[in-house]
Amino acid sequence: MIRPALLGRASILTLTVTAVSLLAIDSASAGPNANGTLILHYHPSLPMCIDIPPCEYGATDPLQSCSEAITNVHEDETGLFTVYAAFAASDAPRLAGVAFGIDYDPDVVILLGFETCGDFELANENWPEPGSGTAVTWSTVQTGQLTPVYGFSGYSYSYYGTDRSLDLVPHPTQGGVFADDDVPSNLDPIAGFGSLGFGNNPGSAPCPTDVALGACCLEDCSCIVTTRDECQGTYYGDGEVCDPNPCDCPVQGACCLPDGSCVVDSEPECDVQGGQWMGKFTECDPDPCVNTPIEERSWGQVKGIYR
């Protein structure tokens, strides 16, 4: 089911492509939304009002931090619940879309209303039934540490027992992912899914933690900022930056030695060996040192070939 907001045709087309990409593209490396989680927050200060859409109503009582999320609804209360994308203070999210699902027991948890907080939604036909999923996108990239994604209203009676919850889960077919504003989008798996508990069920809000980043020097002497665990080279320490480049290794490249062999070495070392340096980051496979054989002939012999 597609639910666009009041946008121009060009904007709707762009968001449609983003939503389809969100559900179809996988990402091999971490993007700007890595480490983010999806949580549910109950708004106890907002009395139930069916005349105001859930997301619009929830925006009047915004969550200030993930640690302040209220994940439990008291007995027999009808309430308003907002889904938030949560990122740590050290993160720099660029959120353009999210795919997720929900799960609950429809006999004990009743949803009265639901609304996307984004500009465009591509949902399963049976959304928001248990086990269904949706994709939400924005026309403008979201860069905050807390971004409202979806709004629900509903209730659960204490008569149904204590183990009652509304759970955020991965999309039933596409998994749980955040998408950035690159084309195509980088997809980062949602690192944790929250739940809203009713009665004695406390619910949960898996808040993201700050991840220590530092300079990482790779084999080609380039520098990237990443975590210690993800560094595929030499990690220079938490908080270290790449500008200026701290990597002190000499740039390597293919060196053709006088005997025709090829070695990978720095330009100064290649000169010491009397070789010809082929340039930075060049390799010996394929061999750049193979010379085309030359057969000596006199000018008369050459003319004789073409007569």
DSSP letters along 16-39, please?
Answer: HHHHHHHHH---SS--TTTT-EEE
User: Using an 8 Å Cβ cutoff, are 175 and 189 in contact?
Assistant: yes
| CA–CA distance, 136 with 180 (Å, rounded to integer) | 12
Same-domain check for residues 176 and 228: no
**What pLDDT score does 133 carry?**
97
Same-domain check for residues 65 and 79: yes
Residue 301 included in any domain = no
**What pLDDT score does 2 carry?**
42
Residue 270 included in any domain = yes
Residue 204 included in any domain = no
Same-domain check for residues 192 and 281: no
**What pLDDT score does 227 carry?**
82
Same-domain check for residues 176 and 279: no
Contacts of 271 (CB under 8 A, 6+ apart): 277
Same-domain check for residues 288 and 149: no
Contacts of 57 (CB under 8 A, 6+ apart): 43, 46, 49, 80, 151
Same-domain check for residues 167 and 226: no
**What pLDDT score does 169 carry?**
97
Same-domain check for residues 130 and 244: no
Mean pLDDT by 10 residues, the chain (307 residues): 42 44 50 92 78 77 92 82 93 95 92 93 95 96 95 80 86 95 91 93 91 82 84 85 81 89 89 90 88 63 61
SS (H, E, C) 86-155: ECCCCCCCCEEEEEEEEECCCCCCEEEEEEECCCEEEECCCCCCCCCEEEEEEEEEECCCEEEEEEEEEE
Same-domain check for residues 242 and 257: no
**Owning domain of residue 29:** 9-198
Q: How many domains does the structure of the chain reveal? A: 3
**What pLDDT score does 29 carry?**
54
Same-domain check for residues 224 and 256: no
**What pLDDT score does 250 carry?**
76
Residue 16 included in any domain = yes
Question: Please, what's the b/e burial string for 78-93 (b: 16 or more CB within 10 A of its CB; e: otherwise)?
Answer: ebbbbbbbbbbeebeb
Same-domain check for residues 236 and 254: no
**What pLDDT score does 24 carry?**
46
